[in-house]
Amino acid sequence: MNKMIEISNLSKSFPSPDGEEMVHVFSGVDLVVEEGSSVAIVGPSGSGKSTLLNIVGLLDKPTDGKLIVAHKNLNKLKETEVSEYRNQTVGFVFQAHHLLPSCTVLENVMLPGLAGFGEKVTEELKERANQILEEVGLGHRTSHLPGQISGGERQRVAVARSLINQPSVLLADEPTGALDSKNSEHLVNLLKELNEEKSLTLVMVTHSAESANQMKQAYHLDEGSLRQER
């Protein structure tokens, strides 16, 4: 099996607000995720789950440690490679959908296909966006604005948007945190389907034991260390 994510001895500290000392979030974190696997990361609030995911997505930098994702050594990427990595290699889904309110569902999904690469709206991009929306069960909502669909649907649009550039890894940070139990179940089932059918490697932070149980592996982050639960 191919390793999709390989993290060794990762640590992260932030300077305290007065800058006097360092706040240590975690250290000695090792994590290997095989291509096509799905991993849940659980742990109390403030334990560093978002920080860990942000580091894997290169939205933040580690204090120390080695990261290899999709055969790229993240410690050694150049500036242009960093933006390409964020845009193409990983997809992100957050607790809040972050959709643009004045763009249609279809436009929101197409957007990362345009970002920063001087690309135009092509028929191919439009077709891909329509197809992904079909796959997440929203083929009938493409012309709606985010305000005209339900919370569960908005979060499925956010998933569709994260997939437009066909990432190798999907990073989901409490993606069901703002949903009721029925919509949460629907969303986790969708993520599971994408993981199984597209062989998309999935890392999901969640507070829900039920959602975590749907993933092939589970890790617990607490008191500065990550340990595997199953």
Ligand X SMILES: Nc1ncnc2c1ncn2[C@@H]1O[C@H](COP(=O)(O)OP(=O)(O)O)[C@@H](O)[C@H]1O
> Footprint of ligand X on this chain (CB under 6 A)?
14, 23, 25, 43, 45-51
Is the CB of 88 or the CB of 95 nearer to Mg ion?
95
Is the CB of 53 or the CB of 158 nearer to ligand X?
53
State the minimum distance, in angstroms, from the CB of residue 99 to ligand X. 22
CB-based burial, 94-110: b 16+ in 10 Å, e otherwise: bbebebeeeebbbbbbb
Report which residue's Cβ sits closest to Mg ion.
Answer: 50
For residue 157, give every residue at least 6 positions away whose Cβ sits within 8 Å of its Cβ, in sequence order, or none: 97, 99, 105, 108, 109, 133, 136, 138, 141, 146, 149
Is the CB of 59 or the CB of 149 nearer to ligand X?
59
Contact (Cβ atoms closer than 8 angstroms) between residue 29 and residue 74? no
Q: Please give the structure tokens belonging to residue 172.
A: 């989901």
State the minimum distance, in angstroms, from the CB of residue 125 to ligand X. 33
State the minimum distance, in angstroms, from the CB of residue 182 to ligand X. 25
State the minimum distance, in angstroms, from the CB of residue 134 to Mg ion. 31
Pick from 145, 158, 154: which is nearest to 194 by CA? Answer: 158
Residue 62 interacts with which of ligand X, Mg ion, none, CB < 5 to 8 Å by class: none
Residue 45 interacts with which of ligand X, Mg ion, none, CB < 5 to 8 Å by class: ligand X
Q: Please give the structure tokens belonging to residue 188.
A: 């986790």
Residue 101 interacts with which of Mg ion, ligand X, none, CB < 5 to 8 Å by class: none
Is the CB of 14 or the CB of 117 nearer to ligand X?
14
Relative orientation angle of helices 151-163 and 181-197, to the nearest 10 degrees:
20
Q: Please give the structure tokens belonging to residue 201.
A: 């490697």
Q: Please give the structure tokens belonging to residue 128.
A: 């891909």
Is the CB of 137 or the CB of 177 nearer to ligand X?
177
State the minimum distance, in angstroms, from the CB of residue 214 to ligand X. 20
